[in-house]
């Protein structure tokens, strides 16, 4: 009972600390906006030409799928970082002096993650009730049909996402930006793998997102009325293609299906105990110390007498040239800081990408090589604008002479130069082939990337926001042919008429944020 009480208070304190943060309010606002888009019909669940009547079962299933994809995908980034925050603030080191064990601590963090994410699911569930009454097709509330998708589909997945966030924080190489990128692509890749897996097709209840359960059950209901149904199943868009309505009363949940869904919660608990094997419990001795090169002689140190007269110090006055400001020196320092710490293999892969851009035709560079070149340095760009806060030197940096006009432009320009350097192969190829549209799109994209990184870094104080936004834009735009977000010009001219003015707005926004930081 004592362990249960410890876990409860740890999870409770962590939950209340997180819901008071601006990041939680921003995420909650996005959830409300998502519910609003669903209410006005900009997002809907459709089965080709068919959709269900807006009864409790259909609305609950639709909102549960939205919660599965939105919160399951982006909620991970909201809850990841709790262990790191305890480490940075020193709270973790204090708790390490208590009898609190590693599994108990991580279970408390898992429950806190779960509670934060489920609070957002609850907001979407309340929005679903509003949507049902607004549509007015069936205003009778069937509580079990409405809540069962949230309980049996969303809740097990959220438990798994909460456990994954704890696991990523326990494993050292997944704690930072690499872990954020790995989860982003793992979530994308896992969806088709789960849906196409023969074993999961036979037992869809074990599929984490629950998409197979709902798609199969709804498909049977449509086929019973419209035998010509071709199996389409989409979430998004609006009521554009769906012109025929059918009645769906929800999934008939059997004990076997419920057991399969709740087995994901058991898997989540097992992940927590697995994470405990890697968790260092805030013990610095478990981290491998870096070898420091030393030129000191191995001979014994010379003993100096402490009884020496203290001489009067004489300070040399600074000359006028010492007070001169050199923007070039600051710029070179910012470029060195961006590239500092990269291993030889990072430069080798980058060189290979540049060579591939040189030897590939312009059309292939646009569609394949340049998108790869502009995802490889994401962890370099993500440090722009937040390095001072991350390294806790903002007091020194912001108190220097004119930090707003001297340092911030140098940070942006350093990011722009690095972007052009990694794109040099594509620039040469476009110039040789006379692809002026591709070259203009490249330059506007290179203008956009550091602007987004600077604004996101200044206002969030972390690299996480840029990593999420940039990966999402990169995935939807260049990789999935969404022209509105194609800043590279992979499938068009790159829309420089939008991204250049938008980048200027982002730079102004970053200056406003940095001025606010300096004042406070």
pLDDT in tens, 158-169: 999 999 999 999
Digit-coded pLDDT (tens) for 28-87: 888 888 877 777 777 778 888 888 888 899 999 989 988 888 888 888 998 998 888 888
- For residue 98, what is the DSSP state? S
**So what's the pLDDT on residue 391?**
79
Q: Is the pLDDT of residue 295 over 70?
A: no
Calpha distance 276→274 (Å, rounded): 5
Q: DSSP letters along 253-311, please?
A: --HHHHHHHHHHHHHHHHHHHHHHTT--TT-GGGSPPPPPP----SSPPPP--S--PPP
Classify residue 402 by its DSSP letter: S
**pLDDT greater at residue 394 or residue 457:** 457
pLDDT at 292: 45
CA-based end-to-end distance of the chain: 45
Q: What percent of the chain has pLDDT over 70?
A: 89
Q: Which of 385, 376, 489 is nearest to 443 (CA)?
A: 489
CA atoms of 101 and 296, how far apart (whole Å): 42
Weakest-pLDDT range from 99-108, 236-245, 275-284, 287-296:
287-296
H-state helical runs in 211-254: 211-225
Site of tokens 């872990």 = 179
- Asked if residues 493 and 502 have their Cβ atoms less than 8 Å apart, the reply is no
What percentage of residues in the chain have a pLDDT greater than 90?
Answer: 33
Mean pLDDT, residues 423-444: 92
Write the DSSP string, 135-189. H-S-----HHHHHHHIIIIIHHHHHHHHHHHHHHHHSGGGSSHHHHHHHHHHHHH
Going from N- to C-terminal start, the domains of the chain cover 2-283, 327-519
pLDDT above 60 for 297 = no
Pairing of strands 234-235, 45-46: antiparallel
DSSP E strand boundaries for 216-288: 234-235, 244-246
Whats the size of the chain, residue-wise?
A: 520
Interval 462-479 mean pLDDT: 89
More confident residue, 357 or 40: 357
Q: Please enumerate in sequence order all residues whose Cβ is within 8 A of that of 504, keeping only pairs 6 or more positions apart, or say none.
A: 451
Stretch 211-227: mean pLDDT: 87
Examine the pLDDT at 296 and tell me if it is beyond 80.
no
Average pLDDT, the chain: 85
Confidence label for 239 from pLDDT (cuts 50, 70 and 90):
very low
Burial 367-381 (b: 16+ CB within 10 A, else e): bbbbbebbbebbbbb
In whole angstroms, what is the distance from residue 393 CA to residue 283 CA? 24
- The Cα–Cα gap between 407 and 153 comes to 49
Dist. CA 486–CA 478, nearest whole Å: 5
Q: How far apart are CA 495 and CA 442, in angstroms?
A: 10
3-state SS, 417-455, equals HHHHHHCHHHHHHHHHHCCHHHHHHHHHHHHHHHHHHHH
Kindly tell me if the per-residue pLDDT of 128 is higher than 80: yes
Question: Which contiguous run of DSSP H or E holds residue 45?
Answer: strand 45-46
Alpha-carbon distance of 398 to 415, in angstroms, equals: 20
pLDDT at 196 > cutoff 90 = no
Phi and psi at 433, nearest 5°, equal -80, -5
Q: Is the pLDDT of residue 218 over 80?
A: yes
Rounded Cα–Cα distance for residues 94 and 89 (Å): 10
**Given pLDDT bands bounded at 50, 70 and 90, which one contains residue 439?**
very high
Say which residue, 131 or 299, is predicted with more confidence. Answer: 131
Rounded CA separation 379/434 (Å) = 32
* Cα–Cα distance for residue pair 454/509, rounded to 1 Å: 9
DSSP structural state of residue 47? B
């Amino acid at each position: 009972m004592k362990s249960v009480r410890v876990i409860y208070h740890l999870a409770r304190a962590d939950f209340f600390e997180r819901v008071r943060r601006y990041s939680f309010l921003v995420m909650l606002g996005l959830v409300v906006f998502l519910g609003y888009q669903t209410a006005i019909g900009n997002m809907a669940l459709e089965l080709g030409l068919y959709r269900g009547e807006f009864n409790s079962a259909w609305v609950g299933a639709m909102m549960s799928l939205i919660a599965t994809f939105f919160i399951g995908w982006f909620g991970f980034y909201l809850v990841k970082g709790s262990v790191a925050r305890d480490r940075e603030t020193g709270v973790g080191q204090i708790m390490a002096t208590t009898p609190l064990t590693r599994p108990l601590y991580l279970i408390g963090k898992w429950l806190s993650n779960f509670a934060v994410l489920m609070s957002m699911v609850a907001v979407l569930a309340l929005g679903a009730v509003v949507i049902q009454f607004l549509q007015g097709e069936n205003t009778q509330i069937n509580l079990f049909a409405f809540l069962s998708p949230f309980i049996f589909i969303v809740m097990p997945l959220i438990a798994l996402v909460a456990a994954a966030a704890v696991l990523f924080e326990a494993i050292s190489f997944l704690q930072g930006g690499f872990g954020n990128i790995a989860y982003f692509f793992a979530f994308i890749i896992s969806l088709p793998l789960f849906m196409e897996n023969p074993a999961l097709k036979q037992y869809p209840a074990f599929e984490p997102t629950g998409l197979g359960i709902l798609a199969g059950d709804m498909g049977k209901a449509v086929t019973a009325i419209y035998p010509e149904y071709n199996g389409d199943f989409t979430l998004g868009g609006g009521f554009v293609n769906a012109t025929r309505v059918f009645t769906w009363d929800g999934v008939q949940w059997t004990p076997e299906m419920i057991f399969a869904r709740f087995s994901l919660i058991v898997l989540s608990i097992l992940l927590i105990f697995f994470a405990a094997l890697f968790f260092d419990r805030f013990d610095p001795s478990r981290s491998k110390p870096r070898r420091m090169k030393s030129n000191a002689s191995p001979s014994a140190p010379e003993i100096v007498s402490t009884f020496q007269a203290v001489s009067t110090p004489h300070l040399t006055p600074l000359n006028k040239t010492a007070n001169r400001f050199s923007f070039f020196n600051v710029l070179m320092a910012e470029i060195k800081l961006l590239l500092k710490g990269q291993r030889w293999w990072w430069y080798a892969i980058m060189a290979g990408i540049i060579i591939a851009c040189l030897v590939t035709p312009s059309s292939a560079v646009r569609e394949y090589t340049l998108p790869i070149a502009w995802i490889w340095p994401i962890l370099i760009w993500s440090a722009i604008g937040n390095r001072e806060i991350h390294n806790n030197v903002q007091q020194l940096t912001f108190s220097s002479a004119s930090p707003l006009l001297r340092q911030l432009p140098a940070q942006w320009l350093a990011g722009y130069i690095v972007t052009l350097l990694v794109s040099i192969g594509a620039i040469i190829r476009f110039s040789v082939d006379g692809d002026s549209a591709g070259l203009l799109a490249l330059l506007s994209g290179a203008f956009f990337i550091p602007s987004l990184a600077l604004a996101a870094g200044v206002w969030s104080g972390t690299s996480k926001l840029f990593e999420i936004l940039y990966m999402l834009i990169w995935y939807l735009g260049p990789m999935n042919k969404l022209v509105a977000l194609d800043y590279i010009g992979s499938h068009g001219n790159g829309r420089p008429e939008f991204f250049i003015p938008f980048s200027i707005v982002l730079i102004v926004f970053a200056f406003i944020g940095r001025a606010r930081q300096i004042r406070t």
